[in-house]
């Protein structure tokens, strides 16, 4: 029993020391990928529409997919940090796949349905009870290129943060 306790405590203290150097590398990678993706949306909106739309910093939909960037960065960072043979990586990878599939499937189709419903409501006569209803949000999901761009951004972000954290660990 004593051996297990000493081993566990030794592992916990070395784990804490490792975390002091790298903080929570997977969490940092995910948040940073999300922030970068949302910031890029601001510029892609300006490029396409020639106007600044600050709402893009918090909105969903658009290029690149911040959901894909976030979950990909998390999965890649967990893979770098804990290895790809563990349960944690498996969970992160499956969640990433589900989120990206959902973005191009259910959410994209819901956005397209909202577009059609908004057009129908727009064409209703003014006296119809639904004529004054607020339009549905149309930009919900992502096209496959938007999801792929988000995934690539997440992979690159996690890779760069990994290289930076490794450089910091080597210097210690």
In this prediction, residue 132 carries a pLDDT of 72
* One-letter-per-residue 3-state SS of the chain: CHHHHHHHHHHHHHHHHHHHHHCCHHHHHHHHHHHHHHHHHHHHHHHHHCCCCHHHHCCCCCCCCHHHHHHHHHHHHHHHHHCCCCHHHHHHHHHHHHHHHHHHCHHHHHHHHHHHHHHHHHCCCCCCCCCCCCCCCCCCCCCHHHHHHHHHHHHHHHHHHHHHHHHHHHHC
Q: Where are the domains of the chain?
A: 24-105+141-163
Rg (CA), the chain: 22
In this prediction, residue 171 carries a pLDDT of 54
Q: Which two tokens stand for residue 84?
A: 């790809």
In this prediction, residue 10 carries a pLDDT of 43
In this prediction, residue 111 carries a pLDDT of 66
In this prediction, residue 17 carries a pLDDT of 44
In this prediction, residue 63 carries a pLDDT of 78
Tens digits of pLDDT across the chain (172 residues): 444 444 444 444 444 444 444 478 899 999 999 999 998 888 887 777 777 766 666 666 677 888 999 999 999 999 999 999 999 999 999 999 999 888 877 666 676 777 777 777 777 677 776 667 776 666 666 788 888 999 999 999 999 999 988 876 655 5
């Amino acid at each position: 029993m004593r051996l297990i306790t000493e081993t566990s405590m030794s592992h916990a203290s070395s784990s804490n020391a490792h975390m002091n150097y790298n903080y929570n590398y997977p969490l940092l990678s995910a948040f940073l990928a999300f922030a970068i993706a949302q910031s890029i949306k601001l510029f892609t909106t300006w490029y396409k529409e020639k106007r600044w739309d600050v709402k893009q910093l918090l909105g969903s939909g658009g290029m690149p997919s911040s959901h894909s960037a976030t979950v990909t960065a998390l999965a890649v960072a967990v893979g770098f940090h804990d290895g790809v043979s563990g349960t944690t990586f498996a969970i992160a990878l499956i969640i990433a796949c589900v989120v990206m599939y959902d973005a191009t499937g259910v959410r994209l189709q819901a956005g397209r349905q909202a577009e059609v419903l908004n057009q129908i409501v727009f064409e209703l006569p003014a006296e119809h009870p639904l004529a004054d209803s607020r339009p549905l949000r149309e930009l919900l999901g992502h096209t496959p290129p938007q999801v792929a761009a988000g995934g690539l951004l997440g992979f690159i972000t996690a890779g760069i943060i990994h290289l930076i954290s490794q450089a910091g660990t080597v210097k210690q």
